[in-house]
Amino acid sequence: MVAEYYYKEYEKVYEDFIAKHEFELYMRINFKYRVEDAKAQVEDVLNAELSCEEEYELLAERFINDHDCNCADNDIWRFIIEDELAAGNIHISKHFGEENVDEE
């Protein structure tokens, strides 16, 4: 009887914990995936790489906030990338396909 009481109390505490942290965990995982999407989209849109991880995080955060189910994701990404680049908030570190030429 005592064990059953403690089990029910433990189960309630566990369910409360999950309910409290479930959305936060979802948002962290979603953000991680959007950062990876940002890297792929920058490569597709600009054929380039950004200078630091924080710039990809900026794009990911903006995508999450600006997402509209009535617009294609690729169009949203393109708009965000071009807008942030024009505003000077992101910087290209290298273009793909460029070769480093050693100066003599």
> What whole-number distance in Å separates Cα of residue 56 and Cα of residue 46?
13
pTM of the predicted structure, to 2 decimals: 0.76
pLDDT digits (tens, 9 = 90+) for 20-70: 889 899 999 999 999 999 999 999 999 999 999 999 999 999 999 999 999
pLDDT at 35: 98
String of b and e for 57-77 (b: at least 16 CB within 10 Å)?
ebbbebbeeeeeeeeeeeebb
Per-residue confidence at 18, pLDDT binned at 50, 70, 90? confident
